[in-house]
Amino acid sequence: MDLIHPMDKLEVAKALRQATADRKRLLVVGGRTHVDKGEPCEVDAELWTTQLDGLVAYEPAEMIAVVEAGMRVGELDRILWDGGQEWPCDAPPRATVGGVIAAAATSPRRLRVGPIRDTVIEMEVVTGDGRLVRSGARTVKSVTGYDLHKLMTGSLGTLGVIVQVALKVRPRPRSRRSVRVAGGLEVGRRLLDAVPGPTAVLAMPEVVELRLEGWPEETERQVEATDRVAPVTVVTEEGAFPFERPWEASAVIAEAAVPPSRLAEFLTRPFHDLPGPHLGSWGALLGVGIAWVGLSSSDGDLEALRTRARALGGIAPVVKGPGGLGNDVPPGLDVHRRLKASFDPAGVLAPGRFWGGI
Ligand SMILES: Cc1cc2nc3c(=O)[nH]c(=O)nc-3n(C[C@H](O)[C@H](O)[C@H](O)COP(=O)(O)OP(=O)(O)OC[C@H]3O[C@@H](n4cnc5c(N)ncnc54)[C@H](O)[C@@H]3O)c2cc1C
């Protein structure tokens, strides 16, 4: 397997023009923390983005940070910390900014901070045939043309290589509390109704963890509201959220997304005539509709989980282990195919990795 380590965007463009000329298939690799997301695809080389790690511009008063896409999330956190701000992706420190965006990773704090695509306001991308394209602008509202950076978010490196982004950052909350209570989905649902403005309500089979953020008096009130629903057993300031992720011990993890109102049904309704799934541990983000589900294998269990997700209008791609994205066909498959042909005419970028075999 060849490895390509471009030092800047011009080298990325050169590498992709060469790959197109040689019909050489490439996988874009950032921190390699999420490469299981996507259908398996055979490639001839890996293009590593980790040398593209420069800070281009950061002015805290503008609340915008412009970075090269191979910058590690841990490094960006450190830079923003000094400005009292954060980019709320909550990915592991060795993940790269471009990888988080290309994988459309979900922060456990999504209930409050929203989806990652909303934080990307400008992007530079090198297309499969080596053209450098810019989309968006460094102001929150001045986009002319199509929002191509939204299209690139979640494209799993199949349309182009993200080389630079401008990110909308947010002030770090003055006070943060992680709170744990005994319970499960039902207690979690009551907490979601009762606690004013939680940043996250994560239900697991036996416990519920909340992330509470804001001004000190605000988080104080949120802790009290939590305690009125179920006695608080643990409170920490700062520290990781969630405290632990038991589903990560499983061989296979699916990141299921269903309408928020159907999450409890998705995780608890008996499976009638379906063989399984035998759910291992899971964590469900209430109000968001996302559940990380640990499975012992990607055989019958995964298919049963996907059948259920589909019946509720959702999906269950795998983010760790074998299993890929599943057989669901994206709406407008033909449009997706034409987009792929336009961005990557020779089909050199991770062919077959995306939904619908694109
Ligand atoms: C233990 C663990 C915990 C995690 N927890 C969280 C969490 O709490 N929140 C969260 O958001 N995520 C979490 N993740 C997921 C993961 O860190 C993110 O999804 C991140 O997106 C992966 O970044 P990466 O640089 O490692 O990407 P890679 O794994 O290297 O790549 C991911 C995908 O993006 C593509 N890609 C990478 N860089 C580029 C680029 N510059 N241009 C185009 N395509 C590119 C790759 O081809 C691949 O398809 C977790 C992962 C692990 C292993």
CB environment 294-325: b (16+ within 10 A), e (fewer): bbebbeebbbbbbebbeebebbbbbbbbebbb
pLDDT score of 309 more than 90: yes
Please, are residues 316 and 326 in contact by the beta-carbon 8 Å criterion? yes
133 HSE (CA, 13 A, CB side): 22
What architecture is the 246-320 domain classified under in CATH? 2-Layer Sandwich (3.30)
pLDDT, residue 36, reads 86
Handedness of CA 257, 258, 261, 266 (dihedral sign): negative
Distance 87 CA to ligand 1 centre (A): 15
Where are the domain boundaries for CATH 3.30.465.10 in the chain? Answer: 2-171
Is 327's pLDDT higher than 50?
yes
Topology annotation, domain 2-171 = 3.30.465
Instruction: Name the nearest CA neighbour of 14 among 172, 130, 125.
Output: 130
CA 353 and chain centroid, separation: 17
pLDDT tens-digit profile of 48-97? 999 999 999 999 999 999 999 999 999 999 999 999 999 999 999 999 99
- Give residue 330's pLDDT: 86
Best mutation site among 28, 89, 199 for ligand 1 pocket (most ligand atoms within 8 Å of CB): 28
CA 224 to centroid of ligand 1, rounded, Å:
36
- Each residue of 228-258: pLDDT tens digit? 999 998 888 877 789 889 999 999 999 999 9
For ligand 1, atom 12, which residue shows the shortest CA distance?
91
Start-end of CATH 3.30.70.260 domains in the chain: 175-237
| Both structure tokens of 328 | 């669901």
CA dihedral 316, 322, 323, 324 (to 10 degrees): 80
Quote the percentage of the chain above a pLDDT of 70. Answer: 96
Model confidence at 142, pLDDT cuts 50, 70, 90, reads: low
Cα atoms in the 13 Å half-sphere on the side-chain side of 326: 24
The distance from CA 22 to its chain's CA centroid, rounded to whole angstroms, is 32
Q: What is the pLDDT of residue 232?
A: 93
CA atoms within 13 A on the CB side of 185: 17
Q: Find out whether 68 and 54 touch, Cβ atoms under 8 Å.
A: yes
Helix (H, G, I), strand (E, B) or coil at 215: coil
Domain 175-237 fold: Alpha-Beta Plaits (3.30.70)
Query: What does DSSP assign to residue 278?
Result: -
Token pair recorded at residue 101: 């965006």
Residues 6 or more apart whose Cβ sits within 8 Å of residue 229? 181, 187, 190, 191, 194, 195
Give the residues surrounding ligand 1 with Cβ less than 6 Å away. Answer: 27-35, 38, 49, 69, 89-92, 95-96, 98-100, 102-103, 105-108, 156-157, 161-162, 248, 350
Indicate left, alpha or beta for 321 from its phi (over 0: left) and psi (-120 to 50: alpha). left
Q: Give percent of the chain above pLDDT 90.
A: 80
Rounded Cα distance, 43 and 26, in Å? 5
What confidence category does residue 346 fall into, taking pLDDT thresholds of 50, 70 and 90? Answer: very high
pTM for the model stands at: 0.94
- Residue 273: the pLDDT is 47
Select from 67, 54, 30 the least CA-distant residue to 157: 30
* Overall average pLDDT of the 99-107 stretch: 94
Name residues whose C-beta falls within 8 Å of residue 259's C-beta, 6 or more positions apart in sequence.
289, 312, 313, 314
Q: Which residues are 291's β-sheet partners?
A: 256, 284
Which mutation among 3, 33, 36, 348 tests ligand 1's pocket best, with the greatest number of atoms within 8 A of CB? Answer: 33
Q: Is the pLDDT of residue 124 over 90?
A: yes
Please return the burial class of 61, using the count of CB atoms within 10 Å of its CB with bins 0-12, 13-18 and 19+. Answer: exposed
